[in-house]
A and B are shown apart, each in its own frame.
Chain A
Amino acid sequence: MSLLADLLSGSGLDPGYEAAAARRAASGDRRSRTGRVSRLLAATVLLGLLGAVAVIQVRRGAPVAERQRNALIGQIRSRTAETDALQRQAGTLQRRTEALRRSALARSDAGQDARRELDRAADAAAAASVRGSAAIVTVDDARTSGGAAAQQDGHIYDQDLQRLVNGLWAAGATAVAVNGQRMTATTAIRSAGDAILVDYRPLSPPYTVTALGGHGLDTAFAGSPAGRAFRTLKATFGIRYDIRQEDDVRLPAAPALRLRYARTEGTPK
């Protein structure tokens, strides 16, 4: 370990300079001054250039990464807006078909029976917008100034939202929406990374779950196992959990349902 030995002894780390000085003293020759100056100048210019180039590189690299990130975020936003617009268009068209179907069915007795049947089915499938008194539950991550561990503890996960929604159904809710998105029998609440997805669309906290279901739904939920679990979470981890009752709430219809048909294996789609 000559490097460490050199360090400890405190002697020169570059013996080259001393050797060169000794050589010069021994031979006694003096090289031209211009040669020495030009060599030194060239080396130091190169050194400065190297440093400057490195600084420029680092400065140039950081904005590029930032710009790419911003471009991606912009793309996500514009695509989401596009989906929203298409969704709205689908909703308008759906309402128009609904109206046309209604007027067509209204002409006969059999048609009116079919219409009543349809209305019942539409309610169950969340295909029509509904209004009424509702319990509104708001949950959010705990506001902690602690480290990553504290942040993890007070984080609302997809399971928590699933438990909340299922608890509301169990407490007698007839229609549920999360952040304005209507839940159907097939709506998935999942997570992707840190974000919670409902129907494959990311939610941003706070999460507001609106459940239609007559008066007293809030107390029914608060007394249920799910309600007790959320009170415990609030007491233990400091998450936000509020529940209140509101009289006139309108929930939108779910986006158009995609029907799935069962078929035997081997038959064409």
Chain B
Amino acid sequence: MIALIGLAAGVVLGFVVHPGVPLWLQPYLPIAIVAALDAMFGGLRARLDGVFDDKVFVVSFLSNTIIAALIVFFGDQLGVGSQLSTGVVVVLGIRIFSNVAAIRRKLFQA
């Protein structure tokens, strides 16, 4: 419940405030969001498993986004940015899918 309220508040805040993203940060935003989604589904799964911990959630969320952005940043510096971001998206995508599959099993027993 609290999580949903927070999510809605964040979305509303984003649309109302229109924070400008500095140009150097823009390439890393999509990857950071995929990483954040991974953390979110991980947290949701843990919640359904009954082992949710807010500290683990916050730490995994922050580290996921920062590390994903960092990997892409280093990839850009080395000239393999697009390949590395593909790699990051594939790995995070697999994690998101398996987490969502676990959530689905929990919720629908299917």
Contacts and interface: CB of A to CB of B under 8 A. Distances in A.
Interface of A: 3, 7, 10, 12-14, 16-18, 20-21, 24, 36-37, 39-57
B61 A47 contact: yes
Contacts of A45: 6-7, 9-10, 13
Given A48-B9, A51-B14, A53-B14, A3 B91 contact: yes
Closest 5 CB pairs of A and B: A48-B10, A52-B14, A44-B6, A21-B51, A17-B46
B98 A13 contact: yes
Contacts, number: 131
Given A40-B6, A41-B6, A52-B11, 10 more contacts: A13-B95, A14-B60, A20-B51, A21-B51, A36-B54, A40-B3, A44-B3, A44-B9, A45-B10, A47-B61
A55 B10 CA distance: 13
A43 B61 contact: yes
A3 B94 contact: yes
A40 B9 CA distance: 13
Contacts of B98: 7, 13
Interface in B27-58: 29-30, 32-33, 36, 39-40, 42, 45-46, 49-58
24 contacts: A12-B102, A14-B46, A16-B53, A17-B46, A17-B51, A18-B51, A20-B51, A20-B55, A37-B2, A39-B57, A40-B57, A41-B6, A45-B7, A45-B9, A45-B10, A47-B6, A47-B39, A47-B61, A48-B11, A48-B12, A52-B12, A53-B19, A53-B29, A56-B18
B33 A48 contact: no
B7 A47 contact: yes
Nearest to B95: A13
A50 B65 contact: yes
Interface of B: 2-15, 18-19, 21, 26, 29-30, 32-33, 36, 39-40, 42, 45-46, 49-62, 65, 91, 94-95, 98-99, 102
Contacts of B3: 40, 44
B49 A17 contact: yes
Nearest to B17: A49
Contacts of A7: 94, 98
